[in-house]
Amino acid sequence: MIVQHMLTIFRPVIFSCALILCVLSGLAPANPEAPSPPQAPVSSVWQVALDGSGHFTSIQEAIDQAVSGDTILIKRGSYAEDVTVHSKEGLSIIGEGMDLVVLSGEKRVGTLHIGKWPYGATNVTIRDLSVIQHGGLGVGIFNGSGVRLTRIRVNGMVFSQQVQDVHLEDCVIGDSETTGVAFADSTGTLSGNLIYHNDHGVAIGGNSDVTLRRNVITRSLYEAVLMTDQSKARLIQNTLVQNGGGAAFQDDAQADVQGNIISQSGVGFLFFPGSHTMLAFNALSDNQGDYVMTGTPPTPALDRAGKTDVQLTPGFLNPEKGDFRLQADSSLIQIGGFTYLGALPPVSSHP
């Protein structure tokens, strides 16, 4: 009777404890030794503003604070500082506009450095701002990969050395004291850029491998495109006009050249004996010579001409004012497999 009475008293307590244990066991992980799933990193957005309304007034301070995957937004203004990005991955630097944010150097050669020896930068995106050269160099890219510049205006040279997958898109690059864009032992793509008023437009050297697609290169003192050493390149649908020369292939350079317009230049294509080129559907006009082999004196090189190349006047809309769009009735429309030759689509005949 005493035992039965005690069970009657403690049965609710025993039931409550069992219920609590069941609830707790449901919350506990099945395997207490299993690690928790990794948490996705949290990216931060930092604002730079000269008036103090952002997190920083200096671009470099924001870069130093940022970690991989962060975004830096730059408000309008002129920033007189040397800027370096290195040892960062997946960093985005975005200006308020190409003509609204201006970076100008202060002390060193090169206003904007992406990567530095021995540290690189990986998958860095920079867009919508301007860079003014300092010491003859606007942008230097060193020892990294996946660097993308979009809608950047550069006064001065863009130089890349030992960098993989450099992308320059819709940029305006000019007024360099030497070359507009130079590649040394690097790989990359140039697309939709305006490159103007440099000694050379684009120089590709060493073991570089570069694709140029739909760029306008104009008013170079020498060649629009210069290839040297063992470099490789593809020149597809570019407009090379009003330059000292169109494209020069030196040393053991290898190039696939198709769908380009080469006009109003000294020499359209200049070949060195050891170079290797494949030309097709290029339009040449108003050059002092179209195909020339270097030597003393230089000699015609008609054997290097593309069998499908054409000698036709492009019919630019207004070349005197730098408008190299094709007129609606241009003879360079529907050539081979190209809807049009050159970098810029024709102007529609419809209002």
Output the pLDDT for position 119: 83
Q: Give the residue with greater pLDDT, 39 vs 116.
A: 116
Q: Which helix (DSSP H) or strand (DSSP E) does residue 63 occupy?
A: helix 59-65
Q: Is the pLDDT of residue 275 over 60?
A: yes
Supply the pLDDT for residue 346.
96
Q: Which two three-digit tokens encode residue 175?
A: 């007024």
Q: How high is the mean pLDDT of the chain?
A: 90
Preceding amide of 118 cis, omega within 30: yes
Model confidence band, residue 224 (pLDDT cutoffs 50, 70, 90): very high
Average pLDDT over residues 232-258: 98
Distance from C-alpha of 318 to C-alpha of 140, rounded to nearest angstrom: 34
Q: Which two tokens stand for residue 133?
A: 């050269």
What local confidence, expressed as pLDDT, does residue 327 receive?
Answer: 97
- Percent of the chain whose predicted confidence (pLDDT) is above 70: 87
Mean pLDDT for 193-211 is 98
pLDDT given at position 37: 53
Q: What is the pLDDT of residue 291?
A: 98
Band (pLDDT 50/70/90 cuts) for residue 1 is very low
User: In the predicted model, is pLDDT for residue 62 greater than 70?
Assistant: yes
Helix or strand holding residue 21 (H, E):
helix 2-27
Percentage of residues in the chain with pLDDT exceeding 90? 85
Query: What is the per-residue pLDDT for 195?
Result: 98
**Cα 94 to chain centroid, rounded:** 14
Digit-coded pLDDT (tens) for 97-149: 999 999 999 999 999 999 987 788 999 999 999 999 999 999 999 998 999 99
Predicted local confidence at residue 15, as pLDDT? 33
Torsion of CA 84, 131, 153, 49, to 10 degrees: 80
pLDDT for the residue 41 = 59
Q: Are 45 and 73 in contact (CB under 8 A)?
A: yes
Preceding omega of 319 cis (within 30 degrees of 0): no
State the pLDDT at residue 16: 40
pLDDT at 182 exceeding the cut of 60: yes
* pLDDT score at 349: 55
Which pLDDT tens digit goes with each residue over 295-327?
999 999 999 999 999 999 999 999 999 999 999
